[in-house]
Amino acid sequence: MTTLTQALNTATCRVCDAVAAWSKRALHRIQYNRQMAANRRVAADLIHLGFHNQKEYNQILTNMNDKTINEYHTKF
């Protein structure tokens, strides 16, 4: 291989790596945001159905969000 070919392959790999890293971060952000939205809906449903055990919506949501944050920090 020539030096030009090696340089081109190195540059291409860097671009592919950058795109892959950006895509992975974007996917993680989307998953995280969807989980937070699901937490809000579940907390509202728990309150509506009466499974709140004298807790307010914000307490339930905070508890669920804390667990989600801890899980995402251990995974990623």
What is the rounded average pLDDT of the residues 22-35? Answer: 95
pTM higher than 0.85: no
Q: Is 35 exposed, middle or buried (0-12, 13-18, 19+ CB in 10 A)?
A: middle
Q: At residue 12, does pLDDT exceed 90?
A: no
Number of domains in the chain: 1
Q: What is the predicted pLDDT for the residue at 75?
A: 83
Residue 67 · residue 42 · CB < 8 Å: no
Which residue segment(s) compose the domain that 30 sits in? 3-75
Q: Report DSSP letters for 13-59, one per residue.
A: HHHHHHHHHHHHHHHHHHHHHHHHHHHHHHHHHHHHHT--TT--HHH
What is the rounded average pLDDT of the residues 44-61? Answer: 86
Q: What is the predicted pLDDT for the residue at 4?
A: 63
